[in-house]
């Protein structure tokens, strides 16, 4: 049989049980739902969020170890446009790949976390700190770089699961880069084979006495000049790119047995001497180099390489590609917007325009 108003009495019983139970040890935490703020603060769940902050890795040098490279992707993507970034530069105007100014107007920020989502460097994260009230509604609500910088340790405190995942990802990327760099060095290590090629290359100078141009006996050369010229003419006949510098003693050492080996070694030596031709190695792909230096390094390379050298080399994806991809897309005509390299700023855009004008 149901009693009228039974639910009401059940509710009051729960309240009474919690009220009385809260006076006993062990029952307090479970039964009291109010916090004596600001003395007491409610622990926040990991996925709570307030406003963004910038992560740095070492307490000893926060600004030197901040992860932000001032690529400005977050500035561009922030829906209410409340982020303002100026890239740091040294006394020569060379970009330092870190922000000099990084402001977030938290009176405008809508806590959407898009800046966090788009940052390729895990440099900006959402904070849990909600105590942001200030007396001035304008300047005091603009957070500047020193306020925004917080340690990775702090990040671990507020969001341990997420921070651990980020650390693991960054470590994996670091290892991948190191492995890639080691792989790139492998061709550079090829010259280790050169010593083997060079001794056989020396006999290459007199390698084809039967078919080489003879230097007349009465030609006005001394012994040394004659030997050099002989080597030079031989190298031309062998199709080598330049003079092989034989010592005067070399012709005397040359033997017919050595000739095939020398002839075989010559092209190999020549190919190893040849620069990597930018296939894998892009010496300008160094964000620490100035634009002029990068362009110098790429001046004899393809248009795509020169376009790439004009970019900021941060591979930040602000353009929607990495630097190589953006350059290739412009060179192939798939991309016609030359203003996408945000960290390169106006100087990159101008250089891209110049290169494309020269191409036409």
**Contact region with ligand SF4 (CB under 6 A), list: 31-39, 113-121, 163-171, 210-218:** 113-121
Q: Please give the Cα distance from 54 to 127 (Å, whole number).
A: 9
> Applying CB under 6 A, which of residues 69, 238, 254, 341 lies at the interface with ligand SF4?
69
In the complex, minimum distance from the CB of residue 236 to ligand SF4, in angstroms, rounded to a whole number: 54
> Applying CB under 6 A, which of residues 16, 64, 101, 111 lies at the interface with ligand SF4?
111
Binding to ligand SF4 by CB under 6 A, coded x per residue (else -) over 34-63, reads ------------------x-----------
> Applying CB under 6 A, which of residues 53, 56, 74, 240 lies at the interface with ligand SF4?
74
97-49-146 Cα angle (round to 5): 40
**Contact region with ligand SF4 (CB under 6 A), list: 10-18, 68-76, 89-97, 326-334:** 68-76
123 binds ligand SF4 (CB under 6 A): yes
72 binds ligand SF4 (CB under 6 A): yes
In the complex, minimum distance from the CB of residue 76 to ligand SF4, in angstroms, rounded to a whole number: 9
In the complex, minimum distance from the CB of residue 5 to ligand SF4, in angstroms, rounded to a whole number: 49
| Number of CB atoms found within 10 A of residue 208's CB | 15
342 binds ligand SF4 (CB under 6 A): no
Backbone angles phi, psi at 316, to 5 degrees: -85, -10
112 binds ligand SF4 (CB under 6 A): yes
> Applying CB under 6 A, which of residues 103, 104, 305, 355 lies at the interface with ligand SF4?
104
**Contact region with ligand SF4 (CB under 6 A), list: 116-124, 154-162, 296-304, 323-331:** 116-124
344 binds ligand SF4 (CB under 6 A): no
For ligand SF4, which is the closer residue by CB, 120 or 248? 120
Q: Residue 88 in contact with residue 96, Cβ under 8 Å? A: yes
208 binds ligand SF4 (CB under 6 A): no
270 binds ligand SF4 (CB under 6 A): no
For ligand SF4, which is the closer residue by CB, 88 or 347? 88
**Contact region with ligand SF4 (CB under 6 A), list: 118-126, 136-144, 252-260, 329-337:** 118-126
> Applying CB under 6 A, which of residues 56, 95, 115, 338 lies at the interface with ligand SF4?
115
> Applying CB under 6 A, which of residues 53, 56, 82, 331 lies at the interface with ligand SF4?
82
**SS3 letters across the chain:** CCCCCHHHHHHHHHHHHHHHHCCCCCCHHHHCCCCCCCCCCCCCCCCCCCCEEEEECCCCCCCCCECCCCCCHHHHHCCCCCEEEEEEECCCCCEEEEEEEEEEECCCCCCCCHHHHHCCCCCEEECCCCCCCCCCCCHHHEECHHHHEEEHHHHHHHCHHHHHHHHHHHHHHHHHHHHHHHHHHHHHHHHHHHHHHHHHHHHHCCCCCCCCCCCCCCCCCCHHHHHHHHHHHHHHHCCCCCCCCCCCHHHHHCCCCHHHHHHHHHHHHHHHHCCCCCCCCCCCCCCCCCHHHHHHHHCCCCHHHHHHHHCCCCCCCCCCCCHHHHHHHHHHCCCCCCCCCCCCHHHHHHHHHHHHHHHC
Q: Which residues bind ligand SF4 (CB under 6 A)?
A: 52, 68-74, 78-80, 82-83, 85, 104, 109-115, 118-119, 121, 123-124
């Amino acid at each position: 049989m149901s009693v009228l108003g039974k639910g009401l009495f059940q509710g009051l019983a729960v309240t009474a049980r919690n009220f009385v139970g809260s006076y006993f040890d062990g029952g307090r935490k479970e039964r009291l739902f109010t916090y004596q703020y600001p003395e007491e603060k409610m622990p926040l769940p990991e996925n709570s969020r307030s406003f963004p902050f910038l992560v740095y890795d070492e307490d000893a040098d926060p600004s030197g170890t901040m992860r932000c490279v001032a690529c400005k992707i977050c500035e561009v993507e922030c829906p209410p446009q409340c982020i303002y970034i100026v890239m740091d530069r040294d006394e020569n105007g060379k970009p330092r790949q870190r922000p000099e100014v990084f402001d977030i107007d938290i009176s405008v920020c809508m806590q959407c976390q898009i800046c966090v989502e788009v940052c390729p460097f895990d440099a900006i994260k959402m904070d849990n700190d909600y105590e942001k009230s200030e007396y001035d509604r304008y300047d005091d609500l603009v957070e500047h770089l020193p306020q925004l910088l917080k340690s990775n340790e702090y990040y671990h405190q507020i969001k341990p699961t997420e921070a651990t995942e980020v650390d693991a990802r960054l470590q994996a990327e670091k290892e991948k880069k190191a492995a890639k760099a080691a792989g790139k060095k492998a061709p550079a290590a090829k010259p280790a084979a050169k010593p083997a090629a060079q001794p056989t290359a020396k006999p290459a100078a007199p390698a084809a006495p039967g078919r080489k141009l003879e230097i007349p006996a009465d030609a006005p050369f001394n012994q040394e000049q004659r030997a050099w010229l002989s080597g030079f003419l031989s190298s031309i006949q062998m199709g080598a790119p330049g003079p092989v510098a034989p010592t005067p003693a070399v012709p005397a050492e040359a033997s017919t047995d050595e000739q095939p080996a020398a002839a075989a070694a010559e092209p190999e030596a020549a190919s190893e001497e040849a620069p990597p031709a930018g296939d894998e190695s892009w010496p300008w792909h160094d964000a620490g180099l100035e634009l002029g230096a990068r362009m110098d390094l790429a001046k004899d390379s393809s248009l795509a390489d020169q376009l790439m050298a004009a970019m900021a080399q941060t591979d930040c994806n602000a353009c929607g590609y990495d630097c190589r991809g953006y350059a290739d897309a412009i060179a192939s005509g798939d991309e016609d917007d030359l203003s996408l390299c945000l960290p390169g700023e106006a100087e990159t855009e101008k250089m891209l325009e110049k290169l494309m004008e020269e191409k036409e």
